[in-house]
Structure 1
Amino acid sequence: MALSRDFRTTIAARVERDPAFAKAMLDEAVTLFLNGEPDSARVMLRDLVNATVGFETLAEETGRPSKSLHRMLSSSGNPGMDNLAAILGAVRKALKVNLEVHTISAA
């Protein structure tokens, strides 16, 4: 059975109508990075960029080429900390949220 809607279109529509969903995606992407799952984090962040600011606007805001940003956020990408901070900053600004890190002791 064929899907009736493209995954990216579904994510973009959900982000547009549900700001809490977009914030949860950002939270999950950051959590994945911090917990040592960068491949999944990059893909989630890429989907969030597509659904919010878009890569052309992200390129303008970060001063990095759009193609480079696409490569950085691919599953095999390798964004440096400066690039990652710029990307997260632009998405955070678009969503109008602040990021706070809370730690939980491992048992």
Structure 2
Amino acid sequence: MATTRDFGEWLQDYARQRPDFAEALLREGIDALLDGEVDVGRSLLRDYIKGTIGFEKLGKAIGVQPKSLIRMFGPRGNPQAKNIFSVISYLRKLVGQAKKAA
């Protein structure tokens, strides 16, 4: 019997295995935010974070409590521009560092 997996779990696993996919996920999340699709953008960024760095490490890196980040990117999250741009800036730097190391 086949077991079913939650789409979010599959997406996170795939992002871990495929850095190019993870980078595209980040880019799509940012583009969605800039296009005014805030809910879609937050959801994509949440999946990206969960599939790559995780909320614990991200929180330590940018000085924000992980629980605050989880709420910020949750379905009812309402992040301030300052907070969301600090997250995006840090994530983009990580992608750049990963490319240099590869």
Give the TM-score of the pair, scaled to structure 1.
Answer: 0.80
CA-CA distance at 1:59 after TM superposition: 0.6
Q: Which amino acid aligns with 1:95?
A: V
Q: Which residue of 2 aligns with 1:48?
A: 48
CA-CA distance at 1:3 after TM superposition: 5.2
Q: Which residue of 2 aligns with 1:104?
A: none
Question: Could you say what secondary structure the match of 1:64 adopts?
Answer: coil
The 4+ residue runs of structure 1 with deviation greater than 2 A are: 2-9, 93-97
Q: Which residue of 2 aligns with 1:71?
A: 71
1:86 paired to 2:86: yes
For the 8 Å contact 1:52–1:91, the answer to whether it is kept is no
For the 8 Å contact 1:32–1:38, the answer to whether it is kept is yes
Q: CA RMSD in A?
A: 1.9
CA-CA distance at 1:6 after TM superposition: 3.0
CA-CA distance at 1:87 after TM superposition: 1.0
Cα distance between partner residues in 2 of 1:47 and 1:89: 17
Cα distance between partner residues in 1 of 2:43 and 2:9: 15
Cα distance between partner residues in 2 of 1:57 and 1:11: 19
Cα distance between partner residues in 1 of 2:69 and 2:24: 22
Residue segments in structure 1 that go unaligned for 5+ positions in a row: 98-107
Cα distance between partner residues in 2 of 1:12 and 1:90: 19
CA-CA distance at 1:56 after TM superposition: 0.4
Percent sequence identity over matched residues? 36
Give the TM-score of the pair, scaled to structure 2.
Answer: 0.83
Residue segments in structure 2 that go unaligned for 5+ positions in a row: 98-102
